[in-house]
């Protein structure tokens, strides 16, 4: 009877990249539970049959782990527009859960990039009343800026008040079915919202959203700094912030810069890796750790500088691909370190012939440079592999094509305390300053 009373249906909808992170999320839920008896629904594309072995392995560690896989065809959602690079059509699966899981009237939904630190029964037991969903309010939506204005003026939001994160939700499936909301969701996924599923949920469900405490979606980039306290229009009380920092129920690794399997230096990263180690074999763990190590180091200025010095033994000129904000930042960093840049390469014909801080912009197809003797540093955030392939086709040398990683404020906010001094030193090197000069 107790098991039935405390049963909580939980849904994850991972794509290929999030299968193993989802396993870690599940393991953390199993380890943190006290009252809750979770039953997991895993909504997977039919091409992910290989993932079954990872989920069944969890059963070997936690014998009370119960789950059901719901196989679907991702192609069914191909009309959905995804703009965020690390997302796929699986982001839209949560919108169709009322139809996919007809045996449940209320469920808990989570993204796979989380770590659960407490029993979630109190979260699930929140009375949704007549609301469609319960979620954690986004502090970004509460700021009076261009973001909020665009949601209303361009995307037709009634308001951004009560806008919530879509990664940790309680969903009233019965109410969504009764009001046939899935049909509305279906028409919205084709419109190209900048925050995809999150925008759709908030726009369609406006006025029917229950707000949950911050501790149920504490971003790891808020845990070791005063970022939340510095917002001009906070939506969380001081006590709520303290509770979330001191006793988070869910740590959410939101954003490409904050994920521990991509960046070994993030807050709560080692706890994530320790959980992973308990559910996968040594070979899988080592492979993932090695990839994460390489990905972490290649973001550093010191790494780019080392690669650049090697290339300069073979090349005569340096050019930057991408004449945007990152390209300008890279130009300044190179100049600060005594490197002269011969030009920018860009796909945008309208920029060609103009200048960035005195450096001319050329179309990527230009013959103005000796391609076999020119270092190209790609400053564009997304699509590096495709850009590199295109440059090679145009005659540039593979080993002379480098990548510059812009480290955003979100990146620095996500860094664990023990790595902050190192990041400070690397930032100093990028700016051509002494390492004891603060630049971030």
By mean pLDDT, which of 106-120, 134-148, 332-346, 425-439 is the weakest? 425-439
Contact 211/162 with Cβ under 8 angstroms?
A: yes
Confidence of residue 34 (pLDDT cuts 50, 70, 90): very high
Mean pLDDT of 341-345: 96
Sign of the alpha-carbon dihedral angle for 409, 155, 107, 70: negative
Alpha helices in 33-130 (DSSP H): 52-61, 97-100, 121-124
Residue 438 scores a pLDDT above 50 = no
Residue 423 scores a pLDDT above 50 = yes
**Rounded Cα distance, 378 and 402, in Å:** 6
Mean pLDDT of 268-293: 97
Order across the sheet with 374-378: list the strands: 355-356, 359-363, 343-346, 317-321, 374-378, 401-403
| Report for 38-47, 220-229, 232-241: range of highest mean pLDDT | 38-47
Residue 440 scores a pLDDT above 70 = no
Instruction: Tell me the three state secondary structure of residue 6.
Output: coil
DSSP 315-351: -SEEEEE--SHHHHHHHHHHHHTT----EEEES-GGG
Of 229 and 37, more confident: 37
Mean pLDDT of 162-187: 96
Top CATH class of 2-293 equals alpha beta
**Rounded Cα distance, 190 and 57, in Å:** 37
Closest to 272 measured CA to CA, from 56, 113, 413: 113
- The token pair at 81 is 């527009």
Give the contacts of 4 (CB within 8 A, at least 6 positions apart): none
Closest to 364 measured CA to CA, from 340, 388, 334: 388
Confidence of residue 380 (pLDDT cuts 50, 70, 90): very high
Question: Residue 80 has what pLDDT?
Answer: 75
Question: Residue 434 has what pLDDT?
Answer: 54
Question: Residue 148 has what pLDDT?
Answer: 82
Contact 240/213 with Cβ under 8 angstroms?
A: yes
**Rounded Cα distance, 133 and 126, in Å:** 11
Closest to 324 measured CA to CA, from 347, 353, 298: 347
- The token pair at 75 is 């192609």
CA 50 remoteness from chain centre: 24
Of 196 and 316, more confident: 196
**Rounded Cα distance, 23 and 57, in Å:** 9
Question: Residue 433 has what pLDDT?
Answer: 67
Residue 147 scores a pLDDT above 50 = yes
* Domain residue ranges in the chain: 2-293, 300-403
- The token pair at 37 is 């008896």
Contact 176/182 with Cβ under 8 angstroms?
A: yes
Question: Residue 382 has what pLDDT?
Answer: 87
> Which DSSP state fits 138?
P
Helices 420-430/301-311 angle, 10° precision: 40
Question: Residue 77 has what pLDDT?
Answer: 77
Establish how many alpha carbons lie within 13 A of residue 157's alpha carbon, considering only the half-sphere containing its beta carbon: 25
Q: Which residues pair with 43 in a beta bridge?
A: 70
Question: Residue 427 has what pLDDT?
Answer: 93
CA 24 remoteness from chain centre: 16
Q: For residue range 123-145, list pLDDT tens digits in order.
A: 999 999 999 999 999 988 877 67
Contact 173/104 with Cβ under 8 angstroms?
A: yes
Confidence of residue 231 (pLDDT cuts 50, 70, 90): confident
Model confidence, pTM: 0.92
Confidence of residue 73 (pLDDT cuts 50, 70, 90): confident
Confidence of residue 75 (pLDDT cuts 50, 70, 90): confident
- The token pair at 79 is 């009309």
- Judge whether 2-293 and 300-403 match in fold: no
Residue 184 scores a pLDDT above 70 = yes
Q: In terms of CATH architecture, what is 300-403?
A: 3-Layer(aba) Sandwich (3.40)
What are the strands, taking DSSP E only, across 46-178?
66-72, 106-110, 114-116, 133-135, 168-172
């Amino acid at each position: 009877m107790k098991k039935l009373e405390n049963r909580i249906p939980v849904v994850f909808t991972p794509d290929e990249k999030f299968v193993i992170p989802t396993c870690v999320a599940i393991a953390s839920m199993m380890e943190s539970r006290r009252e809750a008896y979770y039953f997991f629904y895993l909504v997977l594309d039919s091409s992910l049959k290989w993932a079954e072995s990872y989920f069944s392995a969890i059963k070997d560690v936690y014998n009370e782990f119960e789950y059901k896989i719901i196989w679907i065809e991702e192609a069914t959602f191909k009309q959905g527009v995804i703009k965020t690079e690390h997302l796929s059509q699986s982001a839209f699966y949560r919108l169709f859960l009322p139809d996919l899981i007809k045996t449940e009237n209320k469920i808990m939904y989570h993204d796979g990039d989380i770590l659960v630190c407490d029993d979630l029964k109190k979260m699930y037991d929140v009375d949704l009343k007549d609301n469609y969903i319960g979620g954690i309010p986004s502090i970004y939506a509460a700021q009076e800026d261009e973001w909020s204005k665009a949601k209303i003026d361009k995307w037709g939001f009634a308001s951004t008040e009560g806008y919530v994160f879509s990664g940790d939700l309680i969903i009233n499936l019965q109410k969504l079915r009764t009001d046939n909301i899935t049909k509305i969701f279906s028409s919205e996924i084709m419109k190209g919202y900048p925050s995809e599923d999150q925008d759709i949920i908030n726009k369609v469900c406006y006025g029917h959203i229950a707000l949950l405490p911050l501790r149920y979606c504490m971003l790891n980039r808020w845990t070791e700094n005063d970022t939340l306290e510095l917002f001009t229009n906070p939506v969380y009380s001081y006590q709520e912030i303290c509770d979330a920092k001191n006793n988070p129920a869910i740590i959410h690794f939101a954003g490409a810069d904050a994920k521990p399997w991509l960046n070994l230096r993030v807050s709560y990263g080692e706890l994530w890796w320790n959980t992973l180690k308990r559910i996968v074999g040594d070979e899988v763990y080592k492979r993932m750790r090695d990839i994460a190590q390489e990905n972490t180091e290649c973001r550093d200025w010191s790494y780019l500088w080392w690669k650049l010095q090697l290339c300069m033994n073979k090349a005569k000129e340096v050019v930057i691909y991408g004449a945007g904000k990152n390209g300008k930042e890279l130009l300044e960093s190179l100049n600060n370190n005594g490197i002269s840049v011969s030009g920018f390469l860009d796909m945008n014909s309208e920029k060609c012939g103009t200048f960035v801080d005195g450096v001319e912009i050329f179309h990527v197809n230009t013959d103005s440079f000796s391609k076999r003797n020119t270092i190209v540093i790609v400053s564009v955030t997304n699509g590096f592999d495709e850009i590199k392939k295109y440059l090679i086709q145009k005659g540039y040398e593979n080993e002379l094509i480098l990548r510059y990683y812009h480290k955003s404020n979100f990146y620095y906010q996500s860094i664990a305390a023990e790595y902050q001094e190192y990041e400070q030193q690397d930032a100093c090197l990028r700016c051509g300053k002494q390492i004891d000069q603060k630049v971030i």
